[in-house]
C-alpha cells in the first residue's frame, strides 16, 4: 500500500506540473496588456489582449486570462473576456479607467480612456 500511495502522489505531481507548465523550468513572470494606453471614441469597442512573458524569454498570448476593470464612470465597460465598450452619450465627456488581466497568479494593467462627441 505504501508504494501505491507514493506512485499516486508522483502521478498527481506530474499532472499538476504539466497543467501549469512547470515541468520545463519556465514560468510566467509578467503580463503586458495591449493596447496600452487605449484611447476610444464613442461609440467604439476594443478587444484587449494579454501577452505573457516567461522566464525563458518567450512570450505568448493568454486567451484564458480573466479581466477586471475599474472606473468611476459607467460610460466605459470591460467584460471578463477583455472586451471594452465606450458609450459616452449626451455631448462632450471623457472618462478613464484601468483594465487588468490575470493569469496563473500574475497580473498586468493598461489605462483606457473613453471620449464622447466633441471632446
Q: Which helix (H) or strand (E) holds 15?
A: helix 2-20
Q: Alpha carbon of 47 to those of 55, 97, 113: distances in Å?
A: 26, 15, 14
Q: Alpha carbon of 84 to those of 20, 98, 106: distances in Å?
A: 28, 11, 21
C-alpha span between 37 and 63 (Å, rounded):
20
Please indicate whether residue 112 or residue 23 has the higher confidence score (pLDDT): 112
* Tens-place pLDDT, residues 39-93: 999 999 999 999 999 999 999 999 999 999 998 888 889 999 999 999 876 655 6
Residue 109 near residue 99, CB atoms below 8 Å: yes
Give the sheet arrangement for strand 49-54, strand by strand.
28-34, 49-54, 59-61
Q: Kindly tell me if the per-residue pLDDT of 23 is higher than 90.
A: no
C-alpha cell belonging to residue 22: 512547470
pTM, rounded to two decimals: 0.73
Amino acid at each position: 500500500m505504501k508504494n501505491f500511495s507514493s506512485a499516486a502522489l508522483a502521478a498527481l505531481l506530474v499532472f499538476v506540473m504539466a497543467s501549469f507548465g512547470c515541468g520545463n523550468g519556465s514560468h510566467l513572470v509578467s503580463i503586458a496588456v495591449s493596447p496600452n494606453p487605449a484611447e476610444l471614441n464613442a461609440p467604439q469597442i476594443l478587444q484587449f489582449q494579454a501577452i505573457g512573458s516567461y522566464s525563458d524569454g518567450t512570450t505568448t498570448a493568454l486567451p484564458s486570462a480573466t479581466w477586471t476593470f475599474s472606473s468611476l464612470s459607467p460610460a466605459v465597460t470591460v467584460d471578463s473576456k477583455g472586451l471594452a465598450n465606450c458609450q459616452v452619450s449626451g455631448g462632450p465627456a471623457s472618462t478613464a479607467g484601468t483594465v487588468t488581466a490575470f493569469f496563473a497568479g500574475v497580473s498586468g494593467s493598461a489605462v483606457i480612456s473613453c471620449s464622447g462627441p466633441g471632446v
